[in-house]
């Protein structure tokens, strides 16, 4: 992996983490009045995909989409403004955190129904397949999506038609507070089910961004060269509560040990150390990037705070084409 | 103009759309099979190729979402369900995605998908092959819902649906498939949201849709011979409803009867009655009435469907009551030559 | 009697049912998790074991059909959806199986399943976490649909639902979860299909359900101080509707306003207006009215929900118009102490 | 396989075929006014299951259920009367051919929505699993059911909870007129997908009733001994049109060669020959059984024809418990 790419991956992770922490800091002000599902701790897969995909590749996602949106190149101020419910938000305030869109960079939409955008992504790939080119569609899914019938139906159709789809599964062990054990049979892996459906599959450590990058790059290369839809499962872990800014290790659905164990495998710390060791980065780089990111984020929050709310009459607009 | 059946008019509309715009896709269970969805898709795959006209797995939910995605990707998909009942599997995609996409993303992009659903009736279709749930779709902001009655409207509304920028639920009644009528050639469109006045008369306003418009037509013509003249409004679109047409008529007649192919409770007929009771309160000279399916599923046995459906004679009787005149309606039933559970001799089952 | 919240009353009802009948099962996403579905299932798994109280995969459609099968196998399953919106994935099982099983098999066996669905609102719930689709369920023959308002009814209707021999859709509004009230102990049941008169007065009949009954209560009490006295009927059940109660009231008052938590077009309010326009035509002294959600999804931004919902002041204003008297209603809005997008200070998000 | 069992299997196949042919003969009279999906040619799997299951085991099925109903021990006159829409039908005329039920023998219901009874069967198994005993639930499915999300969700839950479920899949190559090729990816077998979900699987020739019996008996033994849900895929072929009494090889969705090929593998002819060869049966047995069956079937049609129609008022009954 070349140094530029390494630095990009690290920078993107730091940036996404900082954005999420920016939300954490301000959330209790009750100005962001919508549910937020943060990706703190699981930035690896997103930035790896972001570095593999082209702007003309498309992506769709679900409720936990900030990282996906940003990694795909989505407009940060527009995202923050959306979470603040402002007219300048990427959905003009209609959607909130669970509905993000930035078509200019191919982020076609994230929605709040688990599995809901999976067929949408496959349909986008169907449309791509009817045209020319080798663009692909990335469908971001959590582990719970594998439980939905619509995933099975959609993935089957993607296999049947050999559509250019990447199913990027972040397996963070939980669906809300429910562990995999109440949802997945013992001994059955997510990638195993996906393989049974006929998807090409690979699995790896999502907290090792370089490993994630390599797996994704390989999968995407296969898709582009007509190898059919691929499923990449990346193990990772969300640090904070399912929804909201706090930690929730106290409520008992997971152990502090498990949490600490995963925290020790912080994708950012690990990759920082690695890049330090090989001298790809130094303190100065880190400080400069950190400062730039902080400035960008401050500006984004300022933009959001200072933006106007949508006019009340807008509550009726956008239902049908004019 | 040429004379063709309702089913042929649909096929004609699909062919025109496929021909006119390479972005149009036509798919659904059985679309390219030898029966071609009751003839409505016959030969289209041969004509337009299997990339644009294709069969699908029995995966109604995903295939709807895939249509939504294809629409977002620039296509104009037309999905067909051989029965509306099967589409119940896909309501999440219809309601949470197709209907809301434009709104929830702040107007970024709409979903120009058309979803055809066929409503069954009689001849043993039974509880799960006969549901007429237009009231459900009409309840959902973001959807449009059409229910053509004539071959011309079948084609014209289909073309308008396909080229509409928003999702349209296109409901076709199986019993209309063999109905014949004049159909204009080419890209002939009937605007969504406008009703059609089939008969004019000052005694009462009868609003109906789909197959019920045909029954109401028989009733209206029968009563006209007895000196009772009705405005008969064929709704054609159930979302958005053409309120100006209905209200203008009710203002003249002061009497309203709505006839619905769906269940009574919570149906479209009730919506129309409720709205008109408010907007035309001062004009109404009698309680607005509705006639709809009873609040019970359609059973399979022919013995149980005979008295189940609303027919011309019931409509004629209801109009008579509404206008408070004695009318003869029994002969409407006596005139019918084919068994009660088929639309005509052309229908021999099974679907 | 003891004072408890609506959520605690549901938990109490579930515990009574689980305790009383070993055939009762309680399951759904998050049922045994530390939040216990907003407290409504808290501790039940510990108390009754994981065979009877359990979590499930995100497989709403199958898990509904599995409940249907378990019910056919002699169980009394209670399935919970944290939002009604998620249940759209399971409508095939609800409509084609649960609702029709008894009918289509000639009365052999019914499906005693209870499906709880929570209706969200405000505080950024947005388009897919706020739908109030009771009109859909009420349109389906074979279903019963309840919408409790008070803690007592929450418990009493839940117990009646669980021990009913037919499928019941139990709709609970998220904004009611913290409402407090007296709740009788033990197996206290409120009959399905009977409305409750919350206030009596001869000037107008106001019919409401769920959260709208609370808003209507504020409005009615506010107007009572101004000499306008309404019958306020809390519907409690939206299928079957308690027509005798509504009709008896309208016969006395001659004026009807229906307030609905759902979309206006094709909603329950329209059904009630339509029916009463027919059955009480002679008694009505003014056009029957309805107040419901606008025909557009709920947006996420707080700036877009402020003028979106129906509140006490709108109801008071509508009653004033209905009885043709000038009434003061603005103070109802001014009195409210918490932001418009939360039910009270207890709600701090996220769901 | 002992002689009694062999004779039973053969007799059951002959009987089911004769019932279906009885429908064929009379269908054009337009007295059976409902869609019928006949199993002529694919009797093997049904009778094999019927011989393995106990009366206390349960079964559910779909649109093509005559054979399943009869094999499970369902009441023949009540079925024919149901198809005639009579009050004496197993659903009192409410259901017709696509809705059959006979709870006394554990046939809990067949319905017309593809995949619709799959979760119902799993739910029945859940109820069984909460009680004592080792009864199982057989869910009859066609090949198209594997395309439904509800199959995937239901099978996953059965695996998760190790429920006593047999998925009995009759793969007859077609869904209405659609071949497997437009529905299943090349190289993906139905049993393969089922295995990916975590079901125990086996596959075989459904037109060899002895082979089918052995596979099913093995699967059911596994289920009863706590081995978890099993999927048995049996290859077979429907001779007549998808729905209705006719042959439809002329309309072009399948070749006459394919049809003739499968017809040559008639499960009844093959098994008859085999039992003749080993002298388990003789002409006399065949004639006697045939006569008994014909008599039973004649009586059933007579019963149906002579039964009264339901009273019109019954169209409103049975919606809710009294
Ligand atoms: C159909 C549906 N059912 C339930 C929910 C409630 N819900 C929201 S997020 C979530 C968990 C999703 O888990 P996973 O896919 O693993 O994503 P993660 O939250 O872990 O990132 C659930 C069940 C929903 N939004 N949609
Ligand atoms: C959900 C749904 N979609 C479509 C149909 C229409 N349909 C009826 S039978 C059938 C084919 C089923 O094929 P298969 O499961 O292989 O059974 P077979 O008819 O071959 O026995 C279809 C698609 C339906 N009944 N339900
Ligand atoms: Mg997860
Ligand atoms: Mg088949």
Per-residue pLDDT tens digits for B236-280: 999 999 999 999 999 999 999 999 999 999 999 999 999 999 999
The residues pairing with B4 across neighbouring beta strands, listed in sequence order, are B181
Strands B180-183 and B2-5: antiparallel
Cα(C108) to ligand 4 centroid in Å equals 29
Cα A84 versus chain centre, distance: 20
pLDDT at A190: 98
Cβ within 8 Å, pair D312-B350: no
pLDDT at A1: 85
Average pLDDT score over residue span A240-256: 96
C86 lines ligand 1 (CB under 6 A): yes
Any chain B CB within 8 A of the CB of A10? no
SS (H, E, C) chain D: CCHHHHHHHHHHHHHHHHHHHHHHHHHCCCCCCCCCCCCCCCCHHHHHHHHHCCCCCEEEECCCCHHHHHHCCCCHHHHHHHHCCCCCCCCCCCCCCCCCCEHHHCEEEECCCCCCCHHHHHHHHHHHHHCCCCCCEEEEEEHHHHHCHHHHHHHHHHHHCCCCEEEEEEECCEECCEEHHHCCCCCCCHHHHHHHHCCEEEEEECCCHHHHHHHHHHHHHHHHCCCCCEEEEEECCCCCCCCCCCCCHHHCCCCHHHHHHHHCCCHHHHHHHHHHHCCCCCHHHHHHHHHHHHHHHHHHHHHHHHCCCCCHHHHHCCCCCC
Average pLDDT, chain A: 98
D237 lines ligand 2 (CB under 6 A): no
User: What is the number of the ligand 2 atom nearest to the C-alpha of B89?
Assistant: 1
> Apex CA D138: angle with CA C105 and CA D190, to 5°?
115
Cβ within 8 Å, pair B303-D93: yes
Residues 151-190 of A with CB under 8 A from D: 151-153, 156, 159-160, 182-185, 187-188
Per-residue pLDDT tens digits for D101-156: 999 999 999 999 999 999 999 999 999 999 999 999 999 999 999 999 999 999 99
Average pLDDT score over residue span A213-218: 98
What is the chain C residue with the closest CA to B298?
C104
Cα A190 versus chain centre, distance: 18
pLDDT tops 90 at residue D1: no
- Give percent of chain B above pLDDT 90: 97
pLDDT tops 90 at residue C126: yes
Report residue D322's pLDDT band, with 50, 70 and 90 as the boundaries: confident
Average pLDDT score over residue span B310-315: 98
What is the chain A residue with the closest CA to D151?
A149
Strands A230-235 and A200-205: parallel
Alpha-carbon gap, residue D204 to D231, rounded angstroms: 11
pLDDT at C139: 98
- Paired tokens of C121: 């609102």
Q: Do residues B215 and B136 make contact, with C-beta atoms less than 8 angstroms apart?
A: no
SS3 state of residue C76: strand
What letter does residue C307 receive in the DSSP assignment?
A: T
pLDDT tops 90 at residue A322: no
pLDDT at C195: 98
B350 lines ligand 2 (CB under 6 A): no
pLDDT tops 90 at residue B148: yes
Per-residue pLDDT tens digits for B12-49: 999 999 999 999 999 999 999 999 999 999 999 999 99
Kind and range of the H or E element at A77? helix A76-83
Closest residue by Cα to residue B9 from B161, B154, B200: B154
pLDDT tops 90 at residue B72: yes
Percentages (nearest 5) of helix, strand, coil residues in chain C: 35, 20, 45
Cβ within 8 Å, pair B62-A150: yes
Q: Return the sign of the alpha-carbon dihedral for residues C278, C280, C282, C286.
A: negative
D145 lines ligand 2 (CB under 6 A): yes
Helices A76-83 and A3-27: crossing angle in degrees, nearest 10, is 20
Nearest by CB to residue A150, choosing from B61, B71, B101, is B61
B129, B177, B309, B314: which is the annotated catalytic residue? B129
pLDDT tops 90 at residue C1: no
pLDDT at B181: 98
B29 lines ligand 2 (CB under 6 A): yes
pLDDT tops 90 at residue C34: yes
Cβ within 8 Å, pair D30-B128: no
Task: Calculate the dihedral angle through the C-alpha atoms of C64, C69, C70, C74, rounding to the nearest 10 degrees.
Answer: 140
Any chain A CB within 8 A of the CB of D150? yes
Q: Chains that contact C by 3+ CB pairs under 8 Å?
A: A, B, D
Region at B49 (left for phi over 0; alpha for psi -120 to 50; beta for the rest): left
A239 lines ligand 1 (CB under 6 A): no
pLDDT tops 90 at residue A101: yes
Average pLDDT score over residue span B90-112: 98
Average pLDDT, chain B: 97
Any chain C CB within 8 A of the CB of D161? no
A172 lines ligand 1 (CB under 6 A): yes
Alpha helices in chain B (DSSP H): 6-20, 44-48, 60-72, 91, 101-104, 134-138, 151-162, 211-224, 243-253, 268-279, 302-305, 312-323, 330-335
State the smallest CA–CA distance between residue B293 and chain D in angstroms: 12
Average pLDDT score over residue span C193-216: 98
Length of chain C counted residue by residue: 351
pLDDT at C248: 98
- Paired tokens of B91: 């309501």
Do the two domains C2-183 and C196-334 of this chain adopt the same fold? yes
Report residue A18's pLDDT band, with 50, 70 and 90 as the boundaries: very high
Domain boundaries, chain C: 2-183, 196-334
D14 lines ligand 2 (CB under 6 A): no
Per-residue pLDDT tens digits for D243-297: 999 999 999 999 999 999 999 999 999 999 999 999 999 999 999 999 999 999 9
SS3 state of residue B59: coil
Cα(A182) to ligand 3 centroid in Å equals 13
Cα(D206) to ligand 2 centroid in Å equals 19
Percentages (nearest 5) of helix, strand, coil residues in chain B: 35, 20, 45
Q: Which of D26, D37, D85 to mutate to test the interface with B (most CBs of B within 10 A)?
A: D85
Report residue A236's pLDDT band, with 50, 70 and 90 as the boundaries: very high
Closest residue by Cα to residue C247 from C281, C209, C213, C224: C281
Average pLDDT score over residue span B306-333: 97
Q: Do residues B119 and B130 make contact, with C-beta atoms less than 8 angstroms apart?
A: yes
Cβ within 8 Å, pair A320-B102: yes
State the smallest CA–CA distance between residue B228 and chain A in angstroms: 41
- Paired tokens of A182: 């109440």
Q: Return the sign of the alpha-carbon dihedral for residues B139, B144, B145, B149.
A: positive
* Residue B111 CA neighbour count, 13 Å, CB half: 37
Q: Do residues A84 and A32 make contact, with C-beta atoms less than 8 angstroms apart?
A: yes
Closest residue by Cα to residue C308 from C292, C320, C321: C292
Give B-chain residues touching C135 at CB under 8 angstroms.
135, 139, 266
Q: What is the ipTM of this complex?
A: 0.98
Cβ within 8 Å, pair C96-D116: yes
Domains, in order of start, for chain D: 3-32+40-71+102-297 (3.40.50.970)
Give B-chain residues touching C131 at CB under 8 angstroms.
95
Report residue B348's pLDDT band, with 50, 70 and 90 as the boundaries: confident
Q: Which of B300, B308, B340 to mutate to test the interface with D (most CBs of D within 10 A)?
A: B300
Q: Which of B30, B303, B310 to mutate to test the interface with D (most CBs of D within 10 A)?
A: B303
Cβ within 8 Å, pair C75-D127: yes
Pocket probe mutation, ligand 1, options A46, A176, A180, max atoms within 8 Å of Cβ:
A176
The domain covering C2-183 belongs, at the CATH homologous superfamily level, to Thiamin diphosphate (ThDP)-binding fold, Pyr/PP domains (3.40.50.970)
Cβ within 8 Å, pair C63-D153: yes
State the smallest CA–CA distance between residue A268 and chain C in angstroms: 28
Any chain D CB within 8 A of the CB of B351? yes
Cβ within 8 Å, pair A99-B105: yes
What letter does residue B301 receive in the DSSP assignment?
A: S
Cα(D64) to ligand 2 centroid in Å equals 9
Residues 82-101 of D with CB under 8 A from B: 85-86, 89, 91, 93-99
A280 lines ligand 1 (CB under 6 A): no
B58 lines ligand 2 (CB under 6 A): yes
Cα(A17) to ligand 1 centroid in Å equals 21
Kind and range of the H or E element at A297? helix A283-306
pLDDT tops 90 at residue D238: yes
Place of tokens 């689709």: C133
pLDDT at A100: 98
Cα(A115) to ligand 3 centroid in Å equals 12
pLDDT at C146: 99
pLDDT tops 90 at residue A196: yes
Could you tell me which CATH number the domain at C196-334 has?
3.40.50.920
Pocket probe mutation, ligand 2, options D114, D149, D243, max atoms within 8 Å of Cβ:
D114
> How many CB atoms within 10 Å of residue C52?
19
pTM for this predicted structure: 0.98
State the smallest CA–CA distance between residue C101 and chain D in angstroms: 9
């Amino acid at each position: 992996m070349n140094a530029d790419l390494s630095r990009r991956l690290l920078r993107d992770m730091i940036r996404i983490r900082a954005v999420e922490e920016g939300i954490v800091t301000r959330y209790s002000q009750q100005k962001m009045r919508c549910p937020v599902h943060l990706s703190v701790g699981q930035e690896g897969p997103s930035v790896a995909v972001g570095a593999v995909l082209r702007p003309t590749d498309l992506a769709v996602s679900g409720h936990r989409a900030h990282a996906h949106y940003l990694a795909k190149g989505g407009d940060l101020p527009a995202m923050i403004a959306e979470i603040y419910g402002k007219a300048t938000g990427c959905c003009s305030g209609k959607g909130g955190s669970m509905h993000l869109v930035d078509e200019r960079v191919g982020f076609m939409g994230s929605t709040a129904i688990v599995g809901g955008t999976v067929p949408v992504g496959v349909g986008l790939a169907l449309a791509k397949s009817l045209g020319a080119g080798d663009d692909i569609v990335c469908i971001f899914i959590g582990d719970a999506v594998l439980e939905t019938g619509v995933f099975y139906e959609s993935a089957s159709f993607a296999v049947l038609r050999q559509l250019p789809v990447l199913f990027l599964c972040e397996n963070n062990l939980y669906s809300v507070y429910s562990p995999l054990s109440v949802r997945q049979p013992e001994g059955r892996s997510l990638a195993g089910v996906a393989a049974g459906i006929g998807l090409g599959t690979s699995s790896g450590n999502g907290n090792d961004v370089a490993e994630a990058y390599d797996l994704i790059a390989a999968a995407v290369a296969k898709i582009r060269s007509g190898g059919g839809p691929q499923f990449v499962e990346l193990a990772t872990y969300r640090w904070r509560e399912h929804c909201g800014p706090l930690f929730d290790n106290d409520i008992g659905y997971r152990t502090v040990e498990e949490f600490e164990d995963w925290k020790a495998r912080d994708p950012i710390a690990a990759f920082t150390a690695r890049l330090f060791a090989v001298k790809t980065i130094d303190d100065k780089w880190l400080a400069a990037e950190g400062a730039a990111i902080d400035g960008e984020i401050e500006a984004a929050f300022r933009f959001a705070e200072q933006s106007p709310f949508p006019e009340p009459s807008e509550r009726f607009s956008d239902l049908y084409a004019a | 103009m040429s004379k063709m059946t309702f089913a042929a008019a649909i096929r004609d509309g699909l062919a025109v759309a496929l021909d006119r715009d390479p972005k149009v896709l036509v798919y659904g269970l059985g679309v390219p099979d030898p029966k071609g969805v009751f003839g409505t898709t016959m030969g289209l795959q041969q004509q337009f190729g299997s990339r644009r006209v294709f069969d699908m797995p029995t995966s109604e939910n995903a295939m709807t979402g895939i249509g939504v995605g294809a629409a977002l990707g620039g296509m104009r998909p037309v999905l067909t369900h051989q029965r509306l009942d099967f589409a119940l599997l896909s309501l999440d995609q219809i309601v949470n995605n197709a209907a809301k996409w434009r709104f929830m993303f702040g107007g970024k992009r709409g979903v120009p998908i058309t979803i055809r659903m066929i409503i069954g009736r009689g001849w043993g279709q039974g509880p799960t092959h006969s549901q007429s749930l237009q009231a459900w779709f009409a309840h959902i902001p973001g959807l449009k819902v059409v229910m053509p009655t004539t071959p011309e409207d079948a084609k014209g509304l289909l073309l308008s649906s396909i080229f509409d920028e928003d999702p349209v639920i296109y409901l076709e009644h199986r019993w209309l498939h063999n109905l014949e009528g004049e159909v204009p050639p080419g890209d002939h469109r009937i605007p969504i949201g406008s009703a059609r006045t089939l008969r004019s008369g000052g005694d009462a306003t009868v609003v109906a849709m789909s197959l019920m418009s045909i029954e109401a037509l028989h009733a209206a013509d029968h009563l006209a011979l007895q000196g009772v003249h009705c405005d008969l409004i064929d709704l054609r679109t159930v979302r958005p409803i053409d309120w100006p047409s209905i209200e203008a008529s009710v203002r003249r007649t002061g009497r309203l009867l709505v006839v619905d192919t769906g269940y009574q409770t919570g149906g479209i007929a009730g919506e129309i009655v409720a709205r008109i009771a408010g907007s035309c309160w001062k004009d109404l000279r009698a309680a607005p009435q509705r006639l709809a399916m009873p609040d019970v599923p359609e059973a399979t046995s022919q013995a149980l469907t005979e008295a189940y459906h609303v027919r011309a004679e019931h409509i004629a009787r209801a109009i008579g009551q509404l206008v408070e005149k004695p009318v003869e309606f029994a002969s409407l039933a006596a005139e019918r030559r084919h068994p009660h559970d088929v639309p005509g001799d052309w229908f021999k089952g099974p679907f």
